Structure 1
């Protein structure tokens, strides 16, 4: 089973949402629940990254309430996204998970770890930042225009996720090819209404407030923080803030990489994630 072929599954949550998800990989291991980026759906996860992790671990990808094929109302805050994620995890009957949060998915992963610490074994926070962090209170004009475009194309992906260098752009072209390879049973697009709700939640999360960092001291699960050295969506200094604030954390910064460093270096990052998750 692969990200290219895993079927779309559905499960009802106690909140009335029917969640769309994919679950594959090595059954019997601690499942890794993946939390997706702004406007992302199941098909925006890079098969090269996810399949490499699934070779050794069970992976679970899902759409939050109101996102793509999941029913229900899109949560208005990341605290509520955390509650929503826990409803999905509870519906699956899981009592221990690892978390993999990318971009705004990292905001959700932090909330899950704070709200239900006994559930979480280990955490991966990729291309993300803490509530109240640095330069997160809305995007600059050009990133905003690409991120909020009603109909996005490959050029928007290149700009938002990859550096303009020839090496990074080539990796971006390969990534775009991978995520559009799957032809059957694809996820639905994220609606513009859900986009706008997510955008408003990002603005609220990003209100500058250094005092918010103190809450991260409550995250006791070992945490891997990683980013590119030139993240224009969640500025790279926020990864340093996370690593400093979470007690049991480690930090890796990838060179010549933007927000989508994990898609530019899928094999390398998958190997790092697996090594991290296998530690005692």
Structure 2
């Protein structure tokens, strides 16, 4: 019987880098390739929409985790995407996994790309949600209104809705539903991310976005199938970066979801989960 994400307990595993990783695991059948999720800027285990995880885990094992220094995981958050990728590889190794599918969201999609470059044999298929390639022009930091909304010490529900969902009534209503689902877990909630994590992650985002045309060429090295997706109104990572990724990665498909922003995968969780399941299958 499938377990709901809101009811899955937090677990801890110690990796070879001596970090204690907080994670949640829907479990699955022996021999099944799990789907490992990498979270967005300042997000922890409770910032995944339970409806999305439940939809994804209907047909496969899904694992969410906090990378180093984030939420309930020990250590200090690194300030480079490359180190975040090596830390994530250590976590996967601690679970004894030799091959995984990856779904990276926002900064998690940057980390997922780096994992695929560093350890290509580990990644069977790759999903990049609200993503951009390293070195793309215009990605050197976020716009003042975006960083003002989600980069301060506290983010209000209205600020979250303004970045993660489109201005339309339908999208905003969907966003309020997402917030309600995220807060539905009654106990054993994850630790909140701190300011040091915010600073380190934003440093990593800015370094990722330094214009570098040569960095774009390395995407040709990704030989696994890749699914790239975003909302059509994302103010944080503009959807044209999805098309750029799709044009540079040899085996990529791109989908842009309508009337949606950075949190398109939560707003359209049923459709997105079906698309991901079809792609991974």
Displacement of 1:208 = 1.2
Q: Distance in 1 between matches of 2:17 and 2:182?
A: 31
Contact 1:95 1:119 (C-alpha < 8 Å) held by counterparts? yes
Contact 1:216 1:246 (C-alpha < 8 Å) held by counterparts? yes
Alignment counterpart, residue 216 of structure 1, candidates 219, 226, 232: 219
- Normalised by the length of structure 2, the TM-score is 0.97
Alignment counterpart, residue 141 of structure 2, candidates 128, 138, 141: 138
Displacement of 1:25 = 4.6
Q: Distance in 1 between matches of 2:225 and 2:27?
A: 22
Task: Tell me the residue number matched to 1:96.
Answer: 99
Please state if 1:82 is matched with 2:85: yes
Distance 1:256 1:134, change over 3 A: farther
Q: Distance in 2 between matches of 1:215 and 1:158?
A: 34
Q: Distance in 2 between matches of 1:11 and 1:228?
A: 34
Q: How far does the alpha carbon of each residue in 1:93-116 deviate from its partner, in whole angstroms, 9 at most, with x for none?
A: 100100000000000000000000
Contact 2:163 2:236 (C-alpha < 8 Å) held by counterparts? yes
Contact 2:21 2:74 (C-alpha < 8 Å) held by counterparts? yes
RMSD of aligned Cα (Å): 0.9
Contact 2:15 2:21 (C-alpha < 8 Å) held by counterparts? yes
**Which structure 1 residue ranges, 4+ long, deviate > 4 Å from structure 2?**
none
User: What SS does structure 2 have at the residue aligned with 1:4?
Assistant: helix
Q: Distance in 1 between matches of 2:27 and 2:179?
A: 23
Task: Tell me the residue number matched to 1:26.
Answer: 28
Q: How many residues align?
A: 278
Contact 1:221 1:248 (C-alpha < 8 Å) held by counterparts? yes
Please state if 1:58 is matched with 2:61: yes
- Normalised by the length of structure 1, the TM-score is 0.98
Q: Distance in 2 between matches of 1:26 and 1:170?
A: 33
Task: Tell me the residue number matched to 1:267.
Answer: 270
Please state if 1:239 is matched with 2:278: no
User: What SS does structure 2 have at the residue aligned with 1:146?
Assistant: helix
Contact 1:25 1:56 (C-alpha < 8 Å) held by counterparts? no
Alignment counterpart, residue 228 of structure 2, candidates 201, 225, 229: 225
Please state if 1:148 is matched with 2:162: no
Task: Tell me the residue number matched to 1:124.
Answer: 127
Q: Which runs of 5+ in 1 are unaligned?
A: none
Deviates more, 1:133-142 or 1:41-50: 133-142
Contact 2:102 2:123 (C-alpha < 8 Å) held by counterparts? yes
Alignment counterpart, residue 109 of structure 2, candidates 106, 111, 114: 106
Contact 2:143 2:236 (C-alpha < 8 Å) held by counterparts? no
Q: How far does the alpha carbon of each residue in 1:208-263 deviate from its partner, in whole angstroms, 9 at most, with x for none?
A: 11221111111111000000111111111111111111111100001111111101
Task: Tell me the residue number matched to 2:47.
Answer: 44
Task: Tell me the residue number matched to 1:258.
Answer: 261
Q: Distance in 2 between matches of 1:6 and 1:261?
A: 24
Q: Distance in 2 between matches of 1:148 and 1:163?
A: 19
Distance 1:134 1:25, change over 3 A: farther
Q: Distance in 2 between matches of 1:26 and 1:94?
A: 13
Please state if 1:7 is matched with 2:9: yes
Contact 1:25 1:55 (C-alpha < 8 Å) held by counterparts? no
Displacement of 1:134 = 3.3
Q: Distance in 2 between matches of 1:2 and 1:167?
A: 26
Contact 1:131 1:206 (C-alpha < 8 Å) held by counterparts? yes
